[in-house]
């Protein structure tokens, strides 16, 4: 029997971003749902013991703050939303810490704004932090930094944040747990002829026509934000599943290949999406000229570019800028995201990583261009 796309995509996913909505986390605004959060943490622990890497994107800070402040209607004023978030984040972080610790897992609170991911240096810093936490076996619990956001920098909903985080860490899959079973062709509460969508292609315009409106008074999203988030996540090759958060063992069953919820498949392969983004859509700021040995390792062995293999650098660039790679007298053959600015890179040319801290005053990545952030162009 031929396997479905769901069985292979989710079963083979190693790095998974799980996003949980406000109505689930706070039991429709009645306060943090300790039992439900404990269940998700138990399932995440199971997946991590199975060799998966998990990042949690959790809504609920504003809703929990509203409950603690005695507010029954979500405020519209930014300063009131910020105040509610500040109150609610304390309880939200404590709850995840308690439940993850009960499953012998460490947790870390990470608060992000759009500005963190729009700025290349802060983007790389956030990426490095998250990947380090995953390497340490810690579960990052991410929320939008609602205490400082304004209309210009806020994500607007954590579905979008989940997709951006999936792109940030090159996740294989984004799982959006919500208070609905998944996507229907129309609102089943209004149209009895609506049918369930088990599988579709992320980015299909028809999906946006099926979804519409916001789902509850507690959160700021709805099915349309989940469809758009899946489209965004697919840009880096990540599939998305939209499923009911109270489905028993939903995360575990998805990891085993069970068909739960709606699967939105990315039509672009993960590696292809990253290569297209790196090769075609970013402006070059400088060049690293490398020796023949370094060029061979990049071309033939798929290695990272280490500063010891650099002869010199050209241009004026910052950490996170895209730079070219070439041999002396040769044309560009690769490009990637710089881990060091041009002044720092000039100090590091021909130097081993053991000398970086002495030269720079701090210890950072051993690579100038990590292989995950590097693409061959010829």
5-273 is a CATH 1.10.540.10 domain: no
Highest mean pLDDT among 256-260, 303-307, 360-364: 303-307
Per-residue confidence (pLDDT) for residue 2, from 0 to 100? 45
CATH superfamily for 282-376 is PUA domain (2.30.130.10)
pLDDT tens column, 298-357: 999 999 999 999 999 999 999 988 899 999 989 999 999 999 999 999 999 999 999 999
- pLDDT of 213: 45
Q: What is the pLDDT of residues 45-78, one digit of tens each?
A: 999 999 999 999 998 888 889 989 999 888 888 8
Dist CA 88 CA 228 (whole Å): 27
pLDDT surpassing 90 at residue 28: no
Structure tokens at 174: 């984004």
What pLDDT, on a 0 to 100 scale, did the predictor assign at position 215? 42
Q: How far is CA 285 from CA 203, 272, 325, 341, 342, in A?
A: 32, 23, 11, 10, 10
Longest dimension (CA), the chain: 69
The token pair that represents 265 in the structure block:
């498949």
Question: Which residue has better confidence, 16 or 279?
Answer: 16
Rounded Cα gap, residues 51 and 73, in angstroms: 42
pLDDT at 218: 38
Cβ density class 270-289: b for 16+ within 10 Å, e for less: eeebbbeebeeeeeebbbbb
pTM reported for the whole predicted model:
0.79
**64-85 burial by CB neighbour count: b if 16+ within 10 A, else e?**
bbbbeeebeebeeeeebbbbbb
For the chain, give every domain's residue range. Answer: 5-273, 282-376
Phi, psi values for residue 292, rounded to 5°? -65, -35
Name the burial class of residue 152, with classes exposed (0-12), middle (13-18) and buried (19+) by CB atoms within 10 angstroms of its CB: exposed
Q: Specify the DSSP element, H or E, that contains 294.
A: helix 292-301
pLDDT at 150: 61
Distance CA 16, CA 171 (A): 6
pLDDT of residue 52: 96
Rounded Cα distance, 61 and 161, in Å: 14
Select the highest-mean-pLDDT range: 192-206, 294-308, 351-365: 294-308
Higher pLDDT, 276 or 297: 297
């Amino acid at each position: 029997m031929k396997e479905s796309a769901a069985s292979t995509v989710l079963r083979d996913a190693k790095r998974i971003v799980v996003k949980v909505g406000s109505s689930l986390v706070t039991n429709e605004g009645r306060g943090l749902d300790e039992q439900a959060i404990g269940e998700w943490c138990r399932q995440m622990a199971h997946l991590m013991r199975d060799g998966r890497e998990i990042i949690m994107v959790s809504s609920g800070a504003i809703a929990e703050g509203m409950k603690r402040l005695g507010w029954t209607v979500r405020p519209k004023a930014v300063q009131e939303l910020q105040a509610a978030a500040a109150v609610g984040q304390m309880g939200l972080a404590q709850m995840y810490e308690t439940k993850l610790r009960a499953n012998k897992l460490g947790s870390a609170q990470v608060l992000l704004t759009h500005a963190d991911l729009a700025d290349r240096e802060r983007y790389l810093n956030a990426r490095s932090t998250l990947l380090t936490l995953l390497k340490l076996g810690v579960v990052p619990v991410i929320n939008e930094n609602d205490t400082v956001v304004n209309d210009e920098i806020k994500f607007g909903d954590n579905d979008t944040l989940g997709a951006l985080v999936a792109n940030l860490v090159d996740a294989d899959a984004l799982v959006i747990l919500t208070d609905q079973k998944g996507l229907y062709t129309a609102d089943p509460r209004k149209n009895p002829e609506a049918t369930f969508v088990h599988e579709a292609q992320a980015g299909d315009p028809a999906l946006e026509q099926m979804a519409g409106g916001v789902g509850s008074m507690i959160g700021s999203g709805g099915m349309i934000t989940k469809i758009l988030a899946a489209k965004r996540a697919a840009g880096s090759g990540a599939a998305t599943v939209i499923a009911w958060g109270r489905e028993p063992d939903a995360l575990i069953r998805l990891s085993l290949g069970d068909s739960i919820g709606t699967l939105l498949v990315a039509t672009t392969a993960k590696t292809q999406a990253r290569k297209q983004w790196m090769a075609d859509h970013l402006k070059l700021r400088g060049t690293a000229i490398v020796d023949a040995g370094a060029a061979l390792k990049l071309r033939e062995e798929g290695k990272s570019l280490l500063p010891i293999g650099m002869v010199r650098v050209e241009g004026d660039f910052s950490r996170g800028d895209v730079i070219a790679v070439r041999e002396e007298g040769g044309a560009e053959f690769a490009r990637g995201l710089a881990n060091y600015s041009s002044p720092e890179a000039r100090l590091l040319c021909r130097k081993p990583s053991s000398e970086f801290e002495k030269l720079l005053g701090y210890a950072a990545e051993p690579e100038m261009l990590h292989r995950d952030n590097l693409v061959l162009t010829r």
